[in-house]
């Protein structure tokens, strides 16, 4: 990830780091929970070390899952094949969380190009 940040900056791009989306939870989750995954931890560590913008996508998505039981999350947002790959509704939720996370960033010019939020 550090190389991606360095390469992006070398090309005058602004790097953004997002944590990975969560797998389907096996137990009930609460708002603020984050999946116990080294990839989630590493993404945040790299963003801090490289002073890159960071969206904790894992935390945002898990917050949406907190309103549902694990069985409901699986049925609504994941394929029947496994607990990793999302169904179309899961992809839409993840994309909406990316937009939500971008809106929360203080110095991200990309958010100026987003459509206004739907109320």
Each residue of 76-119: pLDDT tens digit?
Answer: 999 999 999 999 999 999 999 999 999 999 888 888 899 888 77
- Read off the DSSP letter of residue 86: B
Task: Give the pLDDT score at 63.
Answer: 97
Residue 97's pLDDT is: 97
The mean pLDDT value for 49-59 works out to 97
Percent of the chain residues past pLDDT 90, beyond the cut: 89
Domains detected in the chain: 2-113 (3.40.50.1110)
Helices (H), the chain: 2-10, 38-50, 57-65, 70-77, 88-104
Tell me what pLDDT residue 92 has. 97
25-41 average pLDDT score: 95
Structure confidence at residue 29 as a pLDDT band (50, 70, 90): very high
Q: What pLDDT was estimated at residue 4?
A: 95
**0.85 exceeded by pTM:** yes
pLDDT at 81: 95
Sequence-distant contacts of 80-88: CB under 8 A, at least 24 apart? 83/23, 83/24, 83/26, 84/23, 84/24, 86/21
Q: Is the pLDDT of residue 65 over 80?
A: yes
**What whole-number distance in Å separates Cα of residue 77 and Cα of residue 25?**
11
């Amino acid at each position: 990830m550090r190389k991606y940040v360095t390469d992006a900056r070398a090309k005058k791009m602004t790097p953004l780091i997002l944590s990975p989306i969560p797998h389907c939870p096996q137990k009930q989750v609460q708002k603020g929970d984050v999946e116990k995954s080294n990839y989630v931890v590493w993404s945040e560590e790299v963003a801090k070390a490289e002073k890159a913008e960071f969206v904790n996508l894992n935390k945002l998505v898990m917050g949406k899952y907190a309103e549902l039981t694990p069985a409901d999350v699986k049925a609504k947002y994941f394929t029947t094949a496994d607990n990793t790959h999302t169904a179309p509704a899961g992809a839409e939720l993840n994309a909406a969380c990316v937009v939500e996370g971008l809106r929360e960033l203080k110095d991200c010019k990309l958010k100026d190009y987003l459509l206004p939020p739907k109320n």
